[in-house]
Amino acid sequence: MEGKIALVTGAAGGIGEAIVRALASRDVRVVAVDRDADRLRKVAKAVEEDTGGRVEPFPADVTASADVEALVDDVETLVGPLDFLVNAAGVLRLAEARKLTDQEWSTTFAVNTTGVFFVSRAVVNRMVPRRRGAIVTIASNAAGTARTEMSAYAASKAAATMFTKCLGLEVAKFGIRANLVAPGSTDTPMLNSMWQDESSARASIDGVPDAYRVGIPLGKLARPEDVAEAVVFLLSDKASHITMHDLTVDGGAALGV
């Protein structure tokens, strides 16, 4: 992977930052994208200092089509042709389906689904003439397992999952692979935002019968690094014959389904 160029969205978030760090430590030049410009620059600087790698911060909003096209144009001109794409930008809005607001629903899909479409389209259209490239979209085990108060999130991730698989089918003839990593409960600010008190972390592991959650068989939360390592594997030549695959990283929480 040394010398390759990767674009990672959601790079200022917990899993996104871990992916940036994992790639930079392998001498991949990382284009880090997030709408939180201040946090993004801090992440880029910290990762460079810690790994000795190269991280280029490019603040952008993945929900704006024209901005995404301009971003990818700038990246390919200023940094170089992209070899990898990781769609890690995501938001979570919790509410029962019947109580979701229009804004909560539209925001969730704008980032988690439409953003994946905009960025993937822009990057893949540049990969196709080169007949190479690898894409990983961060989905969720919720895409295939019903969760209370997570209908918008689960539906958006299910849509992103099938989009990525269909994309992978279409671009396989160009030597481009498209896979997914589906995390479960991962120790990130997104998960922490769901917690009510100190007992919430334990409940994530042990399960919540009233919410039909069975817990995590391995008895621990995932670390962002666990997800990042799965992403690195799917991008690497070690996964050269893997495409349209959904790799679940949830400690068994979805019971292997």
Q: Which residues are catalytically annotated?
A: 153
- How big is the CA angle at 16 (ends 1 and 42), to the nearest 5 degrees? 100
**Tokens 């979570």 map to which residue?**
92
Q: What's the rounded Cα separation, in Å, for the pair 213 and 183?
A: 15
> What one-letter code names the amino acid at 103?
Q
CB contact at 8 A, 247 and 226:
no
For the sheet containing 84-87, what is the strand order? 55-59, 29-34, 5-9, 84-87, 133-138, 176-183, 246-249
Buried b (16+ CB within 10 A) or exposed e, 21-51: bbbbebebbbbbbbbeeebbbebbeebbeeb
- How big is the CA angle at 229 (ends 5 and 62), to the nearest 5 degrees? 50
CB contact at 8 A, 15 and 227:
yes
Q: In what helix (H) or strand (E) does residue 6 lie, and over which residues does it extend? A: strand 5-9
**Helix crossing, 151-171 with 102-109: angle to 10°?**
30
Q: What's the rounded Cα separation, in Å, for the pair 186 and 223?
A: 6
CB contact at 8 A, 115 and 39:
no
